[in-house]
Amino acid sequence: MNIKITGTGSYIPDTIEKNTAFYEHTFLNNDGTVINSPNEVIIEKFQAITGIAERRYAKAHLNSSDLGFFAAERAINDAKIDPETIDYIIVAHNFGDVKYNMNQSDLVPCLAARIKHSLRIKNPKCVAYDILFGCPGWIEGVIQAKAYIQAGMAKRCLVIGSETLSRVVDKHDRDSMIFSDGAGATIIEATEEAGGILAHETSSFTYDEAYYLYFGNSNNQNLSKDTRYIKMDGRKIYEFALVHVPQAIKTCLDNCGLDIKDVKKIFLHQANEKMDEAILKRLYRLYRTEIPEGIMPMSIQKLGNSSVATVPTLFDLVRNNKLENHSLTKGDVIIFASVGAGMHINAIAYKY
């Protein structure tokens, strides 16, 4: 028995928010002081570092659970399965359903229950629950699905990553330009076909690193102190990721007896273009070998950072030949890897 991804789907919102949309923002430092650079310069430097030229925002009437439902429908149709046969629905997110122009997060019922309801699944034995694991949430959901199937507790799982980060950003913080909205979904099931999940690696670093990403006040100190926004210590996250993500990938490959030269594609969480490129360089340095051309697909330039949705969305795009110069062939060994709030890191080695 092998455990494979048999269907994928993603939902990329229609609303495109280009960098020029931020020209009229008032960007402030963490202490509330004005940044002594024109917005054009701030945004130019931002794009040079992150690679982001535009991002996607959900329409006002849609919430994270809606995006997850759209992606789930597509994955179910792609896998050509009856949704009533799904044993687990696992939804990774960070902030629940945050309605447009509202400050509160809505988590009751959980997003997985909402998506199951929208899918009109009657089977009560289809268990629906959420996981909060930062940006690595979708990968962790796949790891949990694998465990259920290996333990004989499930035959088929639906794993979704969905987020509307545009609803929780501080418009006075330069980092707000990183975040976007979207959803990706996958069907994971037991099959006799060759390939599937070969190995995984997960770690949670919380002793010193727990609050590198956090909920904090706006940089505009005149705004309400009761409202919180997503905040991060970008430098510490960058340094942390460069040390731990390459090692997690190497451990994962070691666990299944593979070398980096066996890998055809690496699907990294789309956090920051320069950071992902640096992670890749550090990974190949561990193996003392050159980086092959076209090994790492990137979507961040046009889609931004949609947290838990980035990896499954990227995989869906490549799998369906929707990302230029990237494709997959049966038998290819690929890597999924992510880093995010916690601080959590995980990786999966997978044979396509």
pLDDT in tens, 152-193: 999 999 999 999 999 999 999 999 999 999 999 999 999 998
Residue 222 pLDDT > 90:
no
Domains and CATH numbers, the chain: 2-193 (3.40.47.10), 197-351 (3.40.47.10)
Would you say 253 and 260 are in contact if contact means Cβ atoms under 8 Å apart? yes
pLDDT in tens, 241-279: 999 999 999 999 999 999 999 999 999 999 999 999 999
Residue 34 pLDDT > 90:
no
Structural tokens at position 117: 């309801």
Q: What percent of the chain has pLDDT above 70?
A: 100
Helix 273-286 × helix 234-255 angle, to 10°: 40
Residue 31 pLDDT > 90:
no
* Res 240: pLDDT: 96
Residue 139 pLDDT > 90:
yes
- Which residue carries 């969305």 as its tokens? 313
pLDDT in tens, 297-332: 999 999 999 999 999 999 999 999 999 999 999 999
* Res 283: pLDDT: 97
pLDDT in tens, 40-93: 999 999 999 999 999 999 999 999 999 999 999 999 999 999 999 999 999 999
Q: Tell me the pLDDT band of 32, cut-offs 50, 70 and 90.
A: confident
* Res 102: pLDDT: 87
Average of pLDDT values for 139-152?
97
Q: Measured between alpha carbons, how far is residue 56 from residues 98, 178, 309, 317, 330 in Å?
A: 16, 11, 12, 15, 31
Dihedral (C-alpha) 134, 173, 272, 228: value to the nearest 10 degrees? 0
Q: Tell me the pLDDT band of 293, cut-offs 50, 70 and 90.
A: very high
- Tell me the average pLDDT of the chain: 95
With 0-12 / 13-18 / 19 or more C-beta atoms within 10 angstroms meaning exposed / middle / buried, residue 247 is: middle
* Res 225: pLDDT: 82
Residue 104 pLDDT > 90:
no
Residue 337 pLDDT > 90:
yes
| Residue spans of alpha helices (H) in the chain | 39-50, 64-79, 111-118, 137-150, 234-255, 273-286, 300-303, 310-319
